[in-house]
Amino acid sequence: MLRALGRLTWATERAVSDSGDRFLPPNELLTLGYFDEMKIGYHDDGESSLGPTIATLSLGAKATMLIRMKYKYYNGFSKAKKILYDDPVLEGCQLEEHRRELKDKLDSGTITRQDYERRRKEAPKKCRGAEAPPFIKMELHHGDLVVMHGEKLQKYFEHSVIPEEKLRFALTARYIKPEHVDESEWKKGEFSLSPDQIYDGK
């Protein structure tokens, strides 16, 4: 397990260093087992107690990982038809051109917030709410590493993993923010990898 964590720590550091962000070494290793017909539906790892980087090591059977835009950001409104107050207008979203034009006019002062909201409320009438199609599809094989970095990735997108055979394990390394853990539990996250557990990519 600790050797696996060594590989995940290496992958996390490489991904974060390339982005120029601060590296937070994983202090939690979550292990999930998938058996016959088991899968994890769409979800995110955006809890406030987690750092911005999630790294996963896939073991066993082949699986497919899908990443898609969350419903409210794809459509511009929630499933209850509530319009987003601050619409990020992500690339590939529904009515992207129309939503971006309205947002630009609001930001430039061409229209008021009241006018913006009135015109945005017409959106549910122009398109039926639908789940976003996957914009990333990855095949995960035994030994593959996946690193997801950035709080916005977890905020705006969600992912799902579907194993294609009977037995698969996923080892996920995450950074738990100390301020979200009782001080008496801090020692559980304090450890050092031994030289034979540290991975250097070779």
> Same domain, yes or no, for 100 and 48?
no
Q: Are residues 119 and 166 in the same domain?
A: no
Determine the average pLDDT of the residues in 77-99.
91
Each residue's pLDDT tens digit, 23-61: 999 999 999 888 877 788 999 999 999 999 999 999 999
CATH number (domain holding residue 52): 2.60.120.1520
Indicate if 143 and 119 belong to the same structural domain: no
CB 7 within 8 A of CB 199: yes
Q: Which of 31, 27, 29, 26 is nearest to 60 (CA)?
A: 31
Residues 16 and 64 in one domain: yes
Number of domains, the chain: 2
* Residue 189 scores a pLDDT above 80: no
* Cα-Cα-Cα-Cα dihedral sign, residues 46, 50, 55, 58: negative
Task: Tell me the two tokens of residue 62.
Answer: 């082949």
How does residue 201 score in pLDDT terms, banded at 50, 70 and 90?
confident
First to last CA, the chain: 18
Beta-carbon contacts of residue 110 (< 8 Å; ≥ 6 apart): 104
Statement to judge: residues 107 and 155 lie in one domain: no
The answer to whether residues 123 and 101 touch, using CB atoms and an 8 Å cutoff, is no
pLDDT at site 35: 82
pLDDT, residue 124, reads 62
Q: Are 63 and 164 a contacting pair, CB within 8 Å?
A: yes
- Average pLDDT, integer, range 7-28: 90
Indicate whether 117 and 142 sit together in one domain.
Answer: no
Give the mean model confidence (pLDDT) for residues 122-146.
87
**Residues 104 and 139 reside in one and the same domain:** no
Residues 144 and 60 in one domain: yes
Which 3-state string (H, E, C) describes the chain? CHHHHHHHHHHHHHHHHHHCCCCCCCCEEEEEEECCCCCEEEECCCCCCEEEEEEEEEEECCEEEEEEECHHHHHCECCCCCECCCCCCCCCCCCHHHHHHHHHHHHHCCCCHHHHHHHHCCHHHHCCCCCCCCCEEEEECCCCEEEEECHHHHHHEEEEEEECCCCEEEEEEEEECHHHCCHHHHHHHCCCCCHHHCCCCC
Is the pLDDT higher at 186 or at 92?
Answer: 92
Residue 102 domain-assigned (yes or no)? yes
Positive or negative torsion for Cα 21, 179, 11, 23: positive
Mean pLDDT, the chain, integer: 90
Residue 36's identity, in one-letter code, is D
Is 0.75 topped by the overall pTM?
yes
- pLDDT bin (cut points 50, 70, 90) of residue 190 is confident
Asked if residue 10 is part of any domain, the answer here is: yes
Domain of residue 92, residue span: 77-126
pLDDT at 140: 95
Indicate if the pLDDT at residue 150 is higher than 80. yes
Both 11 and 54 in one domain: the answer is: yes
Two tokens, residue 74: 């794809």
The answer on 139 and 121 residing in a single domain is: no
